[in-house]
Amino acid sequence: MKYSHLFATLACTVSMLSAHAGRPLATEDAGFLERGECEWESFAARATERESSAVKTLSTQVGCGVGANMQFALAVQRETADGQSANAFALGGKIGLIQQGETPGLTLAWGINAVKTPDESMKHDGTALNLVLSHELVKDLTGHANLGWVHSQIERRTARTWNLAAEYALGNGVDVMAEYYGAQYDKPWVGAGVRYAPTDKLSFDASYSVQSGEAKAKLWTIGAKLAF
């Protein structure tokens, strides 16, 4: 199976196991689930690039806190383009290093994934490590910074990654956010998102991102999260 450049890029970046990150942001946050706390997150995405077919993604993930400032998550994702499809299975987690409070929170996030295409057997593709910093800058405004490393066997390359994001709590369960992120060798992305939580257990989110450069890649996502 031959993938478009965009399809291969998404397989490397969006499908990384902790790709749900701090939905709807691509940027991860330093928060982690406490022992016995679980979350079920799902999202749909559509990515486009000039002179390439759209890539559609469906993803679902379940994560739980296991104690000792650690959480684990299992995700399943399906991507389709040009009538072709690929499935990704990922295992990821977080290790809380410094609890966020009056001081910035610091967490190490990690992920590994495997990819299955119709004409190839399942094989390991990506491995990622991400150092995550989160801090309340002023009342209701929180900033996030990520510095990471990702290796893709499909693209046969290793790259550094980085993310900067801010989210503001408007009240009544509504948060708005913006981010700037990228990976070594690729053009950076600029994105914006919104999250609405009608209860403390349920939330809905949406985001839009655009990549700089001549291709003008765009990414739309919509998702939901249930805590239990």
Q: Give the three-state DSSP class for 89.
A: strand
**Nearest CA among 114, 47, 71, 59 for reference residue 224:** 59
Q: Give the three-state DSSP class for 45.
A: strand
Residue carrying the six token digits 């593709």: 125
- CATH code of the domain made up of 5-166: 2.40.160
What pLDDT was estimated at residue 12? 44
Domain ranges of the chain: 5-166
User: Does the structure show a pLDDT above 90 at 123?
Assistant: no
Mean pLDDT of the chain: 89
User: Does the structure show a pLDDT above 60 at 14?
Assistant: no
What pLDDT was estimated at residue 116? 85
Q: Which residues of the chain form beta strands (DSSP E)?
A: 38-49, 52-67, 70-81, 84-98, 105-117, 120-138, 141-152, 157-171, 174-183, 189-196, 202-211, 218-227
C-alpha 102/C-alpha 110 separation (Å) is 25
72, β-bridge pairs? 64, 93
- Long-range pairs for 162-171 at CB < 8 Å and ≥24 separation? 163/25, 163/26, 163/27, 163/28, 164/27, 165/22, 165/25, 165/27, 166/137, 166/141, 166/142, 167/25, 167/141, 167/142, 167/195, 168/140, 168/141, 168/142, 169/140, 169/141, 170/140
**Nearest CA among 146, 121, 127 for reference residue 135:** 146
What pLDDT was estimated at residue 110? 95
The DSSP secondary-structure symbol of 25 reads: -
* pTM reported for the whole predicted model: 0.89
- Per-residue confidence at 41, pLDDT binned at 50, 70, 90? very high
C-alpha 153/C-alpha 157 separation (Å) is 7
